[in-house]
C-alpha cells in the first residue's frame, strides 16, 4: 500500500530552525523527523511512499533518498504551494486505490492497521484519524456521530470557541479512496481541511478515534523540544535509539547523565557535564568546564570553555564563545556566532 506524505510547508513556526532545512529533515534526537514517520508507516505495511514537497526539495531528497528500509520513496514537487488539498490532487496518479495521506510533521503511535480495518469495515470514502486534546484551537476540531460518521469539521476554531474543552482533533492522518481527488481541479490551491473535508460530510466520511496514544504535531519549537524529551524519556518509544555514536570522547572528569543522545565524533572537554535530556549532534565540540542541560545541539556546534547551556536549541554549525550563558528556550539559527561572555535568555 502507498502513503502520500505532505512535506511542502515552510515550517514557519519552527523558524529559525527551518530557515536552512525543511521541517521533514529537522533532526529529532539525531535522526531526521521523516525517518520516524517512515518507520511508523513501514511498521503498518506501507511499501511505497510519495513525498509531496515544495520548500527546499533538493535537500529533502538528498537526506531521505529514494528508498528506505525496503520502501520505495518517490517525490512530487510544487513550484509554489498548492495547499494541503492541491498537493493531494497533484499526487493523483499515485492514488489508484485505498491510499494513506498524512501530514509530514506527526510523531505518533496511532494504530494505522486498525484504522485501515475500520476504513474497510465502514466502506468509507475517506477516514480521518482523530485524537482528543485539551487545547484544540491549533487544530481541526472534528465531531462524529455514533457510527463514527463525521458531523462537523472546523479548522482552527478561535480559542474562545473551544476554551477549557477536550475535543477530538484531526490527527493529520487520512485514508482516502480515489474519488476524493475528483473534487479538485489540477493546479488550484486547496486546503484539504477547509475546502474538501467539509464537502465530504454525510457522504461516507468517517472519523477513527484513538485515545491513549502518543501523538505530537512537531509544529513549534516548544513541541519540537517536547518531542525530543519524550523520545529520550521513552514516552514516545522508538527502536534503535543511539545513546552515543562512534568516536564520542568525554574528557577527564567529564560526564553525561542519562537519558541523553550524543552523535558520532562529538568531543566533550574536561570536567564538563552533559546533563539529562540533552541531545548533542555529530562532530560537536564542547569546551572544558561546561554545563549542558536539556539543550538540543545540532551537528558541528562548537561551545567554548566555561559555558552554561540550558533549555535551548542550537542549529547546525553554531559557535558560542567561552564563558557564555544561554538559557530559557533560546533558539539559534544555523551558523550563528556568539562572542565570548554572551548572555542569552529566550
Interface ranges with Mg ion (CB under 5 A): 105, 217, 219
Residue 305 interacts with which of Mg ion, ligand GDD, none, CB < 5 to 8 Å by class: none
Q: Is 198 in the site for ligand GDD (CB under 6 A)?
A: no
Q: Which of 57, 104, 287, 316 binds ligand GDD (CB under 6 A)?
A: 104
Mark the segment that binds ligand GDD (CB under 6 A) among 99-107, 230-238, 285-293, 334-342.
99-107
What mask of x and - would describe binding to ligand GDD in positions 9 to 48, judged by CB under 6 A?
x-------------x-------------------------
Q: SS3 helix, strand, coil % of the chain, rounded to 5? A: 25, 30, 45
CA distance 129 to 106: 12
Q: How far is CA 209 from the centre of its chain?
A: 21
For the chain, helix (H) and strand (E) counts, in that order, are: 7, 29
What's the grid cell of residue 80?
509554489
Residue nearest to ligand GDD (CB): 8
What's the grid cell of residue 90?
497533484
Q: What is the DSSP letter of 142?
A: E
CB of 9 to ligand GDD, least distance (A): 3
Residues 207-226 that bind ligand GDD (CB under 6 A): 217, 219
Say how many residues touch ligand GDD, by CB under 6 A: 26
Q: Are 10 and 55 in contact (CB under 8 A)?
A: yes
Q: Is 193 in the site for ligand GDD (CB under 6 A)?
A: yes
Q: In the sheet that 260-262 helps form, which strands lie side by side, from edge to edge?
A: 260-262, 278-280, 296-297, 313-314, 331-332
Q: Which of 2, 3, 4, 7 binds ligand GDD (CB under 6 A)?
A: 7
Q: Is 132 in the site for ligand GDD (CB under 6 A)?
A: no
Residue 266 interacts with which of ligand GDD, Mg ion, none, CB < 5 to 8 Å by class: none
CB of 339 to ligand GDD, least distance (A): 35
CB of 170 to ligand GDD, least distance (A): 4
CA-closest candidate to residue 98, choices 180, 42, 41, 182:
180
Nearer to ligand GDD, 118 or 153 (CB): 153
Q: Is 85 in the site for ligand GDD (CB under 6 A)?
A: no
CB of 217 to ligand GDD, least distance (A): 3
Q: Which residues pair with 143 in a beta bridge?
A: 152
Phi, psi angle pair for 177, to nearest 5°: -110, 160
- Omega before 228 cis (within 30°)? no
Q: Which of 27, 83, 207, 304 binds ligand GDD (CB under 6 A)?
A: 83
What's the grid cell of residue 257?
547523565
CA distance 335 to 260: 23
Give every CB contact of residue 298 below 8 A, 6+ residues apart in sequence: 27, 281, 314, 315, 316, 317, 318, 334
Residue 334 interacts with which of Mg ion, ligand GDD, none, CB < 5 to 8 Å by class: none
What mask of x and - would describe binding to ligand GDD in positions 150 to 169, judged by CB under 6 A?
-----x-------------x
CB of 4 to ligand GDD, least distance (A): 9
Helix (H), strand (E) at residue 227:
helix 221-233
Q: Are 22 and 11 in contact (CB under 8 A)?
A: yes
Q: Are 339 and 322 in contact (CB under 8 A)?
A: no
CB of 332 to ligand GDD, least distance (A): 23
Task: Please give the residue ranges that form the binding site for ligand GDD (CB under 6 A).
Answer: 6-9, 23, 52, 54, 78, 81-84, 87, 103-106, 139-140, 155, 169-170, 172, 193, 217, 219
Amino acid at each position: 500500500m502507498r502513503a502520500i506524505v505532505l512535506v511542502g510547508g515552510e515550517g514557519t513556526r519552527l523558524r529559525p530552525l527551518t530557515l536552512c532545512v525543511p521541517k521533514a529533515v529537522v533532526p529529532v534526537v539525531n535522526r531526521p523527523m521523516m525517518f520516524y514517520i517512515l518507520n511508523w508507516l513501514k511498521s503498518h505495511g506501507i511499501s511505497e511512499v510519495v513525498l509531496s514537497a515544495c520548500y527546499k526539495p533538493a535537500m529533502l531528497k538528498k537526506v531521505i533518498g529514494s528508498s528506505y528500509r525496503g520502501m520505495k520513496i518517490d517525490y512530487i514537487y510544487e513550484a509554489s504551494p498548492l495547499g494541503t488539498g492541491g498537493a493531494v490532487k497533484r499526487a493523483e496518479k499515485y492514488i489508484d486505490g485505498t491510499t494513506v495521506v498524512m501530514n509530514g510533521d506527526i510523531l505518533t503511535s496511532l494504530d494505522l492497521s486498525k484504522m485501515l480495518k475500520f476504513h474497510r469495515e465502514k466502506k468509507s470514502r475517506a477516514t480521518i484519524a482523530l485524537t482528543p486534546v485539551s487545547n484544540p484551537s491549533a487544530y481541526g476540531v472534528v465531531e462524529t456521530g455514533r457510527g463514527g460518521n463525521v458531523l462537523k469539521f472546523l479548522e482552527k476554531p478561535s480559542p474562545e470557541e473551544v476554551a477549557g474543552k477536550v475535543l477530538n482533533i484531526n490527527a493529520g492522518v487520512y485514508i482516502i479512496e480515489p474519488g476524493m481527488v475528483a473534487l479538485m481541479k489540477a493546479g488550484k490551491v486547496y486546503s484539504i481541511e477547509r475546502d474538501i473535508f467539509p464537502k465530504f460530510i454525510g457522504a461516507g466520511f468517517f472519523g477513527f478515534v484513538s485515545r491513549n496514544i502518543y501523538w505530537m504535531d512537531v509544529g513549534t519549537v516548544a513541541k519540537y523540544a517536547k518531542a525530543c524529551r519524550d523520545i529520550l524519556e521513552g514516552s514516545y518509544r522508538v527502536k534503535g535509539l543511539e545513546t552515543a555514536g562512534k568516536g564520542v570522547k568525554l574528557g577527564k572528569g567529564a560526564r553525561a547523565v542519562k537519558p541523553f543522545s550524543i552523535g558520532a565524533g562529538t568531543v566533550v572537554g574536561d570536567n564538563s557535564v552533559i546533563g539529562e535530556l540533552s541531545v548533542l549532534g555529530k562532530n560537536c565540540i564542547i569546551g572544558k568546564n561546561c554545563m549542558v542541560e536539556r539543550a538540543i545541539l545540532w551537528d558541528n556546534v562548537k561551545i567554548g570553555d566555561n559555558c552554561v547551556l540550558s533549555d535551548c536549541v542550537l542549529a547546525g554549525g553554531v559557535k558560542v564563545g567561552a564563558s557564555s550563558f544561554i538559557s530559557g528556550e533560546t533558539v539559534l539559527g544555523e551558523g550563528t556566532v556568539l562572542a565570548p561572555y554572551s548572555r542569552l535568555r529566550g
